[in-house]
Amino acid sequence: MSPAATSLRSRHLLGIASLEPDEIQLVLDTALAMKEIGTRAIKKVPTLRGRTVVNLFFEASTRTRLSFELAEKRLSADTLGVTTTGSSVTKGETLVDTARTLEAMAPDVIVLRHEASGAPHHLARVCKASIVNAGDGMHEHPTQALLDAFTMVERKGRLQGLRVSIIGDLVHSRVLRSNVLLLTKMGAHVTAAGPATLLPLGLDRLGVRVETSMDAAVDSADVVMMLRVQHERMRGLFLPSVREYFTWYGLTPERMARAAPDAIVMHPGPMNRGVEIDSVVADGPWSVILDQVANGVAVRMAVLYLLAGGEE
Amino acid sequence: MKVLLKNGRLVDPVAGRNGHFDVLIVDGRVARVGKDLPVDDAQVVNVPASHVVCPGFIDMHVHLREPGQEHKETIASGAAAAVAGGFTAVACMPNTTPVNDQAAVTKLIVERAAAADLARVYPIGAVSVGSQGEQLAEIADLRAAGCVAISDDGRPVATALLMRRALEYASMFGMPVIDHCEDPSLKGDGVAHEGPIAGLLGLRGIPSVAESIMVERDAALAELTRGHVHIAHMSALESLRAVRAGKARGARITCEVTPHHFTMTDDSLERNGGYDTNLKMNPPLRSHMDRDAMIEGLRDGSIDAIATDHAPHHADEKDLEFDRAPFGIVGLETAVSLCLDRLVHAGVIGWPRLVELLSANPARILGVSGGTLAEGGPADITVLAPEVAVTIRAARLRSKSRNTPFDGWSLTGAVAATIVGGRPRFVNADTGFTWEAKG
Amino acid sequence: MPIVMDADRVSRSLARIAHEILERNKGVDDLAFIGIRTRGVPIAERLAVHIKQIAGVDVPTGALDITLYRDDLMRHAVAPQPVVRRTEIPFSLDGRHILLVDDVLYTGRTIRAALDALIDFGRPSAIQLIVLVDRGHRELPIRADYVGKNVPTSRQESVQVRLQELDGRDEVAVDVVEGAEP
């Protein structure tokens, strides 16, 4: 058991891959304190006053972007939002040049979402600011995995030994990769399921059980996490139709009956109702999907707070 | 002009020589090879006893980028890189801008190479117009202008029918068709070898079968047409199996492998924080099993040649996210040290086999002179210093581009000198070799 | 490691402070304790128990974490962040007479941070400060209304407060440590 961390070892958060279990625990513990701030009348603390955080989003994302923005504002930081449409990126400026232009204005943190796996790693090599990965291509989405873990602990009391099933378009999912890394590091039992055309290689190396049967995956699960299936996948010859996908892999109340009693249902959003998840389940008693959103702000506040004092 | 290379260890498998011999060069040609040749009025060059003298190395797969992309490399800078790397000749691929699908472009390449006056440059012409895969290029014209082979490299030869016709047509001139084997639908928008490493890094994969399925196609067509197909930059275990099977059936199929494919694997993608674009090339670095299969093929003779697929790219072009960076790494100046350290010193192959892979077989496949030091033939000679330690430094490469994954590697084995047409075009004084008048 | 207050002395000081609170305040109804984490919290709880014993009234008690309000965060180029714990104040501050409780009063910066936090929570009618130990060296114009013991110290010393609830025993000791803060 590693000694308890009191800070994060890196000044960046590029992925769960480089976090030790004690650092993950530190983020979860700090998020608990941060969550209380959202219950006050004045939802603000002066901690990051005078700090500048740039939200550099090269991919559309309302949910994650707003969540980061709110987290930054609750910590009293100055936030700047840069999105691809209407910026110089569309004029052909490279990622590094865009970041360097921003750096000239001395931001303390750059929160980056990009469609290319490894983009935050590329920036971290050249930028002085701390880089927070808000989702890179198919690679990682570390704050999502952290807020998912926070939600699981909130509802289930623990991660160790928890049976978590993650189902959907696995091969294209950064949420899957980050969750698998985090949950296996913290001692949960992970099952990943989806059609064979959407299974990534390498999961078994991380100790994950891989299924192509939805029923087998949901059976006795404490947590069922559904991933979005994009309509592009039909065109890429991964899936025949939405109808077939929903029939064989959709989360319906009948399938939920196979899960453990008191099982919870999670989804990183946005949901495709009727594709991967039935509305009855999405809006039903098992669902903690809206809690995930609330917890996202607390977790992101914790990450920003901890990075501000991190070592090189 | 007479020069006597004294006493190097000569390795020339085609001539059946492996021992200490003198080589007398007269007016740029090999006049005599023998023991203790009389000096007469020749300039004597004493080759250190530890050095190895070989028929000049030929890199049969390079990209010289001229015409059209001279910011990456020119024929002059590429030829300088070649001789620094121990190569007396290179064959350059047609994917320039414009594509080398017509005699005018071939002639430009030939002229620029002559002006540079360093390594010999053999142009490879396109199979199809613009390498678009629709219409045959004017292959006879290209041949007459100086092309030694045809290829649509950068892309596969687009259809089985086009490959068939190209093999039939080119074999009239004794030219091989060199194929960049890759099924586009299976490759998709992949950027790394399809496997657990790419899976965890979130990089779209290129499965081995994308390459091997095309190798199988080409072997079948070579058998049908009795033409000669040469598989470029082979990387996958399955491809090597297909080559062996084709050869066993009597098809005229040859293949080459690059130094990065017999030294590196996709594990490297995780190093230094990951996503190093100097590890991005096509075909990609594959698994341990594939790398080991390439080594076995070099050992057992089923691989015919080593070629670098030297692909220079400007630093700005590679300073991008992994997905967006272009494929390719330079190789001319690192190949020989990698071969000496990882093949010869590692005990995988002996000296005669090394010369086959780097000289004799490329010369035979392309139908060009060289590959052996025959009396009357051109004095194209590579002198090696097998015991000299080398540290690869990207900043000191003579190529215009620096995109190499081998920066900082410490290897044993260096190029001592590269002699083309009897004149030294590159001498590495650090190896104790000097070309100076004595006696 | 000289002990300046033993368990008995701690206990008698807290009992005395509880009486002082009742003497100085007309009525107990508006009072509320807020302990500053970490050791201000058990002290606040003990004072609430004393008041209950003396006056029979339950005075609400809350816990305040002031980490996020400190003025010395982010000033160090490379240093670990202090650990943040939950604030739990289960009552409204509006119109209340708040008794802010901490174990040691030193520079006064912790109390300043606590005041900033409390203002964000609501509008108390008054705030008074209770400390177990006042060790001097104020850097801000802050004073305690109730003090367990005045312990003059030098800046090279540090005051260690141990409490039964957290450390297994009650005692206040003074250590000599270079550049230490309590």
Q: DSSP secondary structure string, B337-353?
A: HHHIIIIITTTSS-HHH
Could you tell me if C65 lies within 8 Å of chain A, comparing CB atoms? yes
Q: What is the CATH number of the domain that holds B274?
A: 3.20.20.140
**In sequence order, which residues have a C-beta less than 8 Å from that of residue B424 and are 6 or more positions away?**
B417, B418, B435
| A97 and A59 part of one domain | yes
Q: Answer yes or no: is B16 within a domain.
A: yes
Q: Which residue has the higher pLDDT, A8 or B14?
A: B14
Q: Answer yes or no: is A7 within a domain.
A: no
So what's the pLDDT on residue A228?
92
Contact B321 A122 (CB under 8 A): yes
So what's the pLDDT on residue A60?
80
A-chain residue closest to B317, CA distance = A94
The closest CB to that of A308, out of C74, C116, C122, belongs to C74
Which residues of B fall within a CB distance of 8 Å from A174? 202
A-chain residue closest to B319, CA distance = A96
Smallest CA–CA distance, residue A272 to chain C, in Å, is 36
Q: What is the CATH number of the domain that holds A92?
A: 3.40.50.1370
Which residues of A fall within a CB distance of 8 Å from C85? 33
Strand duo B57-62 + B52-55: pairing? unpaired
As a whole number of angstroms, the longest Cα–Cα distance in chain C is 51
| B118 and B165 part of one domain | yes
**In sequence order, which residues have a C-beta less than 8 Å from that of residue C122 and are 6 or more positions away?**
A41, C92, C93, C94, C96
CA B369 to each of CA B178, B360, B430: distance values in angstroms, whole numbers, following the listed order: 19, 9, 30
Which residue, C56, C45, C170, C62, is CA-closest to C114?
C62
Q: Answer yes or no: is A134 within a domain.
A: yes
Could you tell me if A203 lies within 8 Å of chain B, comparing CB atoms? yes
pLDDT of residue B199 exceeding 60, the answer is yes
Q: Which residues of B180-212 are buried (b: 16+ CB within 10 A; e: fewer)?
A: bbbbeebbbebbbbbbbbbbbbbbbbbbbebbb
**Contact C/B (≥3 CB pairs under 8 Å):** no
| B133 and B185 part of one domain | yes
| A99 and A230 part of one domain | no
Probe site for chain A from C68, C109, C123 (most A CB atoms < 10 A): C68
| B42 and B126 part of one domain | no
Which residue, C73, C62, C17, C70, is CA-closest to C40?
C62
Considering the entire predicted model, what is its pTM? Answer: 0.88
Q: Is the ipTM of this complex over 0.90?
A: no
Q: How many helices (H) and strands (E) does chain A have?
A: 12, 9
| A163 and A47 part of one domain | no
Cα B200–Cα B190–Cα A244 angle in degrees, nearest 5: 80
| B30 and B134 part of one domain | no
Contact C88 A36 (CB under 8 A): yes
Contact A36 C86 (CB under 8 A): yes
Tokens of A206: 């991380």
| A254 and A158 part of one domain | yes
pLDDT of residue C78 exceeding 70, the answer is no
C positions 95-124 inside 8 Å of A (CB): 116-117, 120-122
| A172 and A125 part of one domain | no
The closest CB to that of A309, out of C69, C79, C116, belongs to C79
| B219 and B100 part of one domain | yes
| B320 and B203 part of one domain | yes
So what's the pLDDT on residue A91?
62
Could you tell me if A182 lies within 8 Å of chain B, comparing CB atoms? no
Lowest mean pLDDT among A34-38, B32-36, C76-80, C119-123: C76-80
So what's the pLDDT on residue A201?
87
The closest CB to that of B274, out of A121, A138, A203, belongs to A121
Q: Confidence band (pLDDT; 50, 70, 90) for A144?
A: very high
CA atoms within 13 A on the CB side of B364: 16
| B162 and B234 part of one domain | yes
Mean pLDDT for B304-327 is 96
Which residues of A fall within a CB distance of 8 Å from B197? 202
| B281 and B134 part of one domain | yes
Which residues of C fall within a CB distance of 8 Å from A34? 84
A positions 264-303 inside 8 Å of B (CB): none
| B225 and B238 part of one domain | yes
Q: Confidence band (pLDDT; 50, 70, 90) for A84?
A: confident
**Count of Cβ atoms closer than 10 Å to residue C75 Cβ:** 8
Q: Confidence band (pLDDT; 50, 70, 90) for A132?
A: very high
So what's the pLDDT on residue C150?
95
Which residues of B fall within a CB distance of 8 Å from A16? none
pLDDT of residue B110 exceeding 60, the answer is yes
Could you tell me if B273 lies within 8 Å of chain A, comparing CB atoms? yes
Contact B323 A115 (CB under 8 A): yes
* C37-47 pLDDT per residue, tens: 999 999 999 99
CB pairs under 8 A between A and B: 72
Which residue, A33, A30, A8, is CA-closest to A20?
A8
Q: How many domains does chain A have?
A: 2
Which residues of B fall within a CB distance of 8 Å from A89? none
| A63 and A106 part of one domain | yes
Q: Answer yes or no: is A153 within a domain.
A: yes
So what's the pLDDT on residue B45?
95
| B150 and B281 part of one domain | yes
Tokens of B366: 């392309």
* A115-130 pLDDT per residue, tens: 999 999 999 998 999 9
Q: Answer yes or no: is A97 within a domain.
A: yes
Tokens of B184: 């586009």
| B302 and B422 part of one domain | no
- pLDDT above 70: percentage of residues in chain A: 95
* B37-79 pLDDT per residue, tens: 999 999 999 999 999 999 999 999 999 999 999 999 999 999 9
Q: Which domain holds residue B402?
A: 2-53+379-431
Contact C84 A34 (CB under 8 A): yes
| A128 and A148 part of one domain | no
pLDDT of residue B317 exceeding 60, the answer is yes
Cα A75–Cα A77–Cα A83 angle in degrees, nearest 5: 115
Report chain A's mean pLDDT, rounded to a whole number: 91
pLDDT of residue A146 exceeding 60, the answer is yes
Which residues of A fall within a CB distance of 8 Å from B320? 94-96, 122
Could you tell me if C75 lies within 8 Å of chain A, comparing CB atoms? no
Reply yes or no on domain C8-71+84-153 having CATH 3.40.50.2020: yes
Contact C80 A7 (CB under 8 A): yes
Which residue, B16, B46, B21, B129, is CA-closest to B439?
B46
| A73 and A112 part of one domain | yes
pLDDT of residue B439 exceeding 50, the answer is no
Q: Answer yes or no: is B24 within a domain.
A: yes
Q: Which domain holds residue A34?
A: 16-140+294-307
Contact A201 B194 (CB under 8 A): yes
* B258-286 pLDDT per residue, tens: 999 999 999 999 998 899 999 999 999 99
Tokens of A144: 């999502």
Could you tell me if B323 lies within 8 Å of chain A, comparing CB atoms? yes
Q: Confidence band (pLDDT; 50, 70, 90) for A145?
A: very high
H-helix or E-strand spanning residue C174: strand C171-176
Strand duo B29-34 + B17-26: pairing? antiparallel
Mean pLDDT for A34-48 is 92
Q: In the block, which residue shows the tokens 């080409």?
A: B218
Q: Residues, chain C, total? A: 182
Mean pLDDT for B313-332 is 95
So what's the pLDDT on residue B360?
98
Contact A41 C121 (CB under 8 A): yes
pLDDT of residue B1 exceeding 90, the answer is no
**Count of Cβ atoms closer than 10 Å to residue A2 Cβ:** 9
Cα separation, B47 vs A133, whole angstroms: 58
Mean pLDDT for B210-215 is 98
- Can you state the angle between helices C7-24 and C40-55, rounded to 10 degrees? 60
- Can you state the angle between helices A21-37 and A289-307, rounded to 10 degrees? 110
Contact B200 A202 (CB under 8 A): yes
**Count of Cβ atoms closer than 10 Å to residue A257 Cβ:** 10
| A159 and A285 part of one domain | yes
Cα separation, A249 vs A234, whole angstroms: 15
Q: Answer yes or no: is B436 within a domain.
A: no
* A164-218 pLDDT per residue, tens: 999 999 999 999 999 999 999 999 999 999 999 999 888 888 899 999 999 999 9
So what's the pLDDT on residue A310?
38
Dihedrals φ, ψ of B84, to 5°? -65, -30
Q: Answer yes or no: is B62 within a domain.
A: yes
Which residues of A fall within a CB distance of 8 Å from C69? 45-47
Report chain B's mean pLDDT, rounded to a whole number: 96
Q: How many domains does chain B have?
A: 2
**Count of Cβ atoms closer than 10 Å to residue A240 Cβ:** 11
* A247-287 pLDDT per residue, tens: 999 999 999 999 999 999 999 989 999 999 999 999 999 99
**In sequence order, which residues have a C-beta less than 8 Å from that of residue A207 and are 6 or more positions away?**
A184, A190
Contact A137 B197 (CB under 8 A): no
Cα separation, C20 vs B380, whole angstroms: 105
Catalytic site residues of B? 309
Cα separation, A162 vs A152, whole angstroms: 9
Which residue, A52, A9, A2, is CA-closest to A27?
A9
Cα separation, B62 vs B66, whole angstroms: 12
**Contact B/A (≥3 CB pairs under 8 Å):** yes
| A107 and A167 part of one domain | no
Paired with C61 in beta bridges are C33
**Count of Cβ atoms closer than 10 Å to residue A187 Cβ:** 12
| A228 and A95 part of one domain | no
Q: Confidence band (pLDDT; 50, 70, 90) for C26?
A: confident
CB pairs under 8 A between A and C: 61
Contact A36 C121 (CB under 8 A): no
Q: What is the CATH number of the domain that holds B10?
A: 2.30.40.10
Q: Answer yes or no: is A192 within a domain.
A: yes
| A128 and A184 part of one domain | no
- Among candidate residues B315, B343, B366, the one where a domain is terminated: B366
Report chain C's mean pLDDT, rounded to a whole number: 91
